[in-house]
Amino acid sequence: MEKRWILREADEGLVSLLSDKLQVPPLLARILVLRGLKEPEAASRFISSSLRFDLPSPFLMAGMERAAERLVRALESNELICIWGDYDVDGTTGTAALVSFLKEIGGKSIYYVPHRIDEGYGLNPGGIKQLCSQGVRVVVTVDCGISNYREVELAQSLGMDVVIVDHHEPPQDLPPAVAILNPHRADCPFPDKGLSGAGLAFYLIIGLRAKLREVGWFTHSGTPDIRCYLDIVALGTIADMVPLKGVNRILARRGLAELGGSTRPGVLALKQVARISTAEVGVGQVAFQLGPRINAAGRMDAGLKVVEMLTTDSREVAFRIAQELDEHNHERQAMEARVLEEALSQVDADTALRDRSSIVLGREGWHPGVLGIVASRIVERFHRPTVVIGFDQGKGKGSARSIRGFHMVEGLQQCADLLEGFGGHEYAGGLSIKQEKFPVFLDRFEQVAKACLAPEDLIPVLEVDAQLDFAQIELSLARQIDSLQPFGIGNPEPLFITKAVEVSERRIFSNVSRLRLRQGGRTLNAVAFGPQFGVSDNESGGEISSKLDTPNSTLLLGTKIDVVYRLSKNEWNGTFAVELRIVDVRVSAEH
């Protein structure tokens, strides 16, 4: 799709002030201001991101006091605690972190991860009854539970207390749990609402450790260093695609360092099967290599394998499970490709798509484990709120993905009378529906989307941070931008634009186009990745305009182009140089 390029405007007074106060270049100050960091203190904290000084207190979170106190009583009484995690990446990693911590401090715990196909999302009566028969007295949910009113009631009637740890939008009537940790609660003063399930689990660990310290639990054993769990927490935080700002950014930044040097057998095995040999692990490697393999377990088989892999002390067991996850990931990729092809066929057959503000697709036999990924691919291609549903004997399970300007859960709420159930957050959701109601839902959802979205909202936007001339681009600039990492949703890698650039050299390889671009006597290397060059979306994470390699290419030698790009450092034989990673191009007005 054609994209709108928007050069973002920043208050130059604030840019100058920030540059002077922090002693950073004006361009770096501009990027900070555009990220909403207009006060020198906030901008300084963003750059430093200290665990000790910049994380808000866990006891600012509603329910934390009660949750920690209940778990302290359970530990003191040697009660059996069960961590009930969701099968997705932040549920399994958050569960693994809690299980590992309870094991380290001498707690008595087990874990339960429901099977996506056999049991579905969240708490279920069968699992609760099974835990009761095993003697469980406290159930802690991770990344689920906020919509399970009846199941929490059942657990209480069987003599079990429930602590809910969930970041999904809460319903109007909260479950009758002992404590609910969810920053989206109307009465929760916690300043950061964007935590993943894994991040919330880590916050429970922080709160529980503080309470245990108060009662003298660590008098003889020493207080545990909970930073060692940040490798797991970073996996869940980054792979769950939550905004990498605020608390998430701090957890991810420190967690990536822990991931690089982790000695955890499960992490080592996962890196091995993903062919990550370097000590340094970046956001892209988590998002496109490690995360999909973790998610594949819950999508294609059983998410509990992930918890076992991340909590085992055996390298042999960890590697065996990691290999299974790798196989599941290959299965997931093949199934995803088939469902995506079938879904795109439905889109192609919809001659009215240009006039629609949403896409709703459904088919018998689509595997629910890949529907979220397929919905994301369709949103990337057509930039419309998308719902993809798989039907089985009249019952449908679906995943939904959204765009800026359309709150998915609020949209589904307006279709609630047609649904058996739904949940999620602003940009993603899940739902269940009877097949007979699908046609009505399709029309209703379209009405809701059309009422919310203007025609320009359906055109994807590239928000550019600054316009540069090649004379301004040096290796030092790329290094300064690196200080703003990790990049991701909420903290995107800065985009730049340079106009009237001449294509002086172009070499096409199987998976990449390498270019030499010239402006004003300065020539720079550039690289363009993308599916049209043979790179899988799953592995590259690349974003590249489809017009780069079409017969009417804008990249013919001698052509003058305007180019949007990111800066990167390229190493060759020990020498570093700055390089452009192209995102989009247009023929320049000067051509």
For the chain, what's the residue count? 591
What pLDDT digit, counting tens, does each position of 478-516 carry?
988 988 999 988 889 999 999 999 988 888 776 778 889
pLDDT for res 562: 93
- Work out the burial of residue 552: count CB atoms within 10 Å of its CB; fewer than 13 is exposed, 13-18 middle, 19 or more buried: exposed
Q: Please give the structure tokens belonging to residue 483.
A: 């200080």
Least Cα distance to 515 among 459, 461, 553 occurs for: 553
CATH no. for 54-327? 3.90.1640.30
List beta partners, residue 513. Answer: 508, 528
Query: Which residues are within 8 A (CB) of 29 and not within 5 positions of it... i.e. 6 or more apart?
Result: 15, 16, 18, 19, 22, 43
Looking at the predicted structure, is the pLDDT value of residue 98 above 60? yes
Q: Please give the structure tokens belonging to residue 500.
A: 């009237």
If one compares 48 and 421, the residue with the highest pLDDT of the two is 421
Least Cα distance to 183 among 199, 171, 194, 197 occurs for: 194
Q: Please give the structure tokens belonging to residue 173.
A: 């009537």
pLDDT for res 535: 34
Phi-psi region of 551 (alpha: psi -120 to 50; beta: other; left: phi over 0): alpha
CA distance 369 to 303: 11
What pLDDT digit, counting tens, does each position of 270-288 carry?
999 999 977 788 999 998 8
Residue 124 CA: distances (Å) to CA of 198, 279, 292, 421, 505: 21, 41, 26, 14, 61
pLDDT for res 554: 58
Residue 491 DSSP label:
B
- What is the model's pTM? 0.84
Its CATH class, for the domain covering 350-458, is alpha beta
Half-sphere exposure of 47 (CA within 13 A, CB side): 20
pLDDT for res 530: 57
CA distance 194 to 15: 27
3-12, 486-495, 544-553: least confident range? 544-553
Domain regions of the chain by residue span: 54-327, 350-458, 462-587
Equal CATH topology for 54-327 and 462-587: no
List beta partners, residue 503. Answer: 517
Please state the rounded mean pLDDT for residues 86-100. 95
- Categorize the per-residue pLDDT at 426 as very low, low, confident or very high, splitting at 50, 70 and 90: confident
What pLDDT digit, counting tens, does each position of 297-335 carry?
877 667 899 999 999 999 999 999 999 999 999 998 999
Q: Please give the structure tokens belonging to residue 282.
A: 């970046």
Please state the rounded mean pLDDT for residues 353-382. 91
Q: Please give the structure tokens belonging to residue 525.
A: 């290397």
Q: Please give the structure tokens belonging to residue 17.
A: 């002030």
List beta partners, residue 418. Answer: none
Least Cα distance to 132 among 86, 79, 182, 181 occurs for: 79
CA distance 273 to 297: 14
Phi/psi for 137 (5° steps) reads: -115, -20
pLDDT for res 589: 80
Q: Please give the structure tokens belonging to residue 327.
A: 């196989």
Q: Which amino acid is at 19?
A: S
Least Cα distance to 85 among 11, 166, 169, 204 occurs for: 166
pLDDT for res 427: 86
Looking at the predicted structure, is the pLDDT value of residue 87 above 70? yes
Q: Which amino acid is at 209?
A: R
Phi/psi for 464 (5° steps) reads: -95, 135
- Give just the sign of the alpha carbon dihedral 417, 172, 397, 350: positive
Average pLDDT, the chain: 90
Tell me whether strands 161-165 and 136-142 are parallel, antiparallel or unpaired: parallel
pLDDT for res 352: 80
pLDDT for res 544: 40
CA distance 491 to 507: 32
What pLDDT digit, counting tens, does each position of 23-62 carry?
999 999 999 999 989 999 888 888 888 888 889 999 999 9
- In 107-246, alpha helices (H): 125-133, 149-157, 197-214, 230-239
What fold, for 462-587?
A: OB fold (Dihydrolipoamide Acetyltransferase, E2P) (2.40.50)
- Work out the burial of residue 338: count CB atoms within 10 Å of its CB; fewer than 13 is exposed, 13-18 middle, 19 or more buried: middle
Please state the rounded mean pLDDT for residues 402-431. 92
Compute CA 31 distance to the chain's CA centroid, rounded to the nearest angstrom: 22
CA distance 384 to 457: 9
CA distance 439 to 435: 8
CA distance 524 to 517: 5
- Categorize the per-residue pLDDT at 543 as very low, low, confident or very high, splitting at 50, 70 and 90: very low
If one compares 542 and 241, the residue with the highest pLDDT of the two is 241
Query: Which residues are within 8 A (CB) of 540 and not within 5 positions of it... i.e. 6 or more apart?
Result: 288, 529, 530
pLDDT for res 514: 86
pLDDT for res 301: 65
What pLDDT digit, counting tens, does each position of 222-232 carry?
899 999 999 99
Please state the rounded mean pLDDT for residues 190-219. 96
CA distance 510 to 373: 25
Give the CA radius of gyration of the chain: 25
Please check whether residue 389 is in contact with residue 366, taking contact to mean a CB–CB distance below 8 angstroms.
yes
What pLDDT digit, counting tens, does each position of 137-174 carry?
999 999 999 999 999 999 999 999 999 999 998 998 99
If one compares 99 and 246, the residue with the highest pLDDT of the two is 99
pLDDT for res 423: 85
Looking at the predicted structure, is the pLDDT value of residue 540 above 60? no
What pLDDT digit, counting tens, does each position of 436-477 carry?
999 999 999 999 999 999 999 999 999 999 999 999 999 999
pLDDT above 70: percentage of residues in the chain = 94
- Categorize the per-residue pLDDT at 532 as very low, low, confident or very high, splitting at 50, 70 and 90: very low
CA distance 473 to 468: 8
CA distance 501 to 509: 22
CB atoms within 10 A of CB 507: 9
Angle (deg, nearest 10), helices 291-300 and 265-273: 90
Please state the rounded mean pLDDT for residues 78-90. 95
Compute CA 76 distance to the chain's CA centroid, rounded to the nearest angstrom: 36
